[in-house]
Amino acid sequence: MKNLHTRRHLLKTMGSGILACGLSGRSWGQSAESGVYGKRAAEVMAHTHENFWLKKRDLYKGAIDKDDPDFIWGGGVMFSAVVAATRHDPKYKSIMRKYFEGMEVYWDTKVKIPGYEPSPTAGGGNDKYYDDNAWMVIMFLEAYEMSGESRYLKRATEVLEFVMSGWDEVGGGGIWWHEKHTGDSKNTCVNAPAAVGCFRLSKFCEPKEAPKYIADGGKIVKWTTKTLRGGNSLFGDAINVVTGQVNGGQLTYNSAMMLRAYTCLYSLTGEDIYLDEAKKMGVAAKAFTDSKTGQYRDSIKWSHLMVEADLELYRWTKEDYLLKRAKTDCDFHYEAWKKEPAKDLITNGGLARQLWLMADMETAAGRDFWKKSDKLRR
């Protein structure tokens, strides 16, 4: 209880600094015809595994006409699809294990702080992207929640250590995009998932370590909100810390992950101010949609994360427009895939991931998993 009180006090004192910078009665299962998305997800997943899996390497290749494993970014998206599939089909649990082990060829231990290189490495590399690694933290924690296997929690903790090593006070704070400071930029695409990773890891770490992770997540949210949030409540891409110039271009995945960071803060504190901010982003995200079709305008490698954010916010608010928007995007991309399946891994993996998340809405197992997962308070 003392630890819980300490964490709540910490979060309440963070609130004003961060922010200085109609509920529906519809039940989950009424949102879609039962089983539709599970069948679609299984179809896309089976196609992807059959056509992209490299049996001798326990990895997925990046393109259907290539035999080389994908970069770790695409591989991470596919891992998220495998994790989600495991909730619905037990056969994917062994694939999840194999894939996790296969990705060891990217894991560089011959450096001061280990991390994932973009490509398979012999070790001692210096081409690591902090954002590639930040995504893996979240997915490994989800794998741990589902399986209870400590390997995933251990690796999530290790990867987050590498990600946080990219934070410094140049430009007032923030995590660099690349370990060699390529482009002189600090980007939303690393800071936002890093914050989510910090908040979510605080659920599983030793109680005495939780305040540190929450504080780290809080300072990341504060810096990113102050530095990269636009006047429309959505988030720009990056700041060049040498020139001070902000790239205000807005991609779905940046705002999606900041929305999730704020829902995490709400789940940790129960403070409505955080949920209100997330709701503002949810409404503003309409700007990302096509006015004719309603689907997200960005490539699915970015936009599948906005679908995930919509569903997470829906679980808290039950606001129908969020579920409708997620469904519209999933339906649009699935129909396009049926006509001509994508030839790259990241598009197939992103589609499979969002379809499995919709399938979670159709099943008691999926709904129960997220009910437990969203509630981060001990």
- Residue 377, φ and ψ in degrees, nearest 5: -65, 140
Q: Which CATH number belongs to the domain containing residue 352 in this structure? A: 1.50.10.20
Percent of the chain residues past pLDDT 70, beyond the cut: 90
Domain count, the chain: 1
- Residue 285, φ and ψ in degrees, nearest 5: -65, -10
DSSP state of 71: P
pLDDT tens per residue, range 206-262: 999 999 999 999 999 999 999 999 999 999 999 999 999 999 999 999 999 999 999
Query: In terms of C-beta density within 10 A (0-12 exposed, 13-18 middle, 19 or more buried), how is residue 295 classed?
Result: buried
Query: Can you state the percent helix, strand and coil of the chain, rounding each to 5?
Result: 65, 10, 25
Structure tokens at 243: 């020139």
41 close to 88: Cβ distance less than 8 angstroms = yes
Q: Supply the pLDDT for residue 226.
A: 98
Query: What CA–CA distances, in Å, run from 215 to 63, 109, 225, 268, 278?
Result: 40, 27, 15, 12, 19
Q: Rounded distance, CA 78 to CA 85, Å?
A: 10
Predicted confidence band at 375 (pLDDT cuts at 50, 70, 90)? Answer: confident
Q: Rounded distance, CA 255 to CA 153, Å?
A: 26
> How far separated are the first and last CA of the chain, in Å rounded?
9
pLDDT tens per residue, range 291-344: 999 999 999 999 999 999 999 999 999 999 999 999 999 999 999 999 999 999
DSSP state of 107: E
Predicted confidence band at 29 (pLDDT cuts at 50, 70, 90)? Answer: very low
The boundaries of the domain holding residue 193 are 2-374
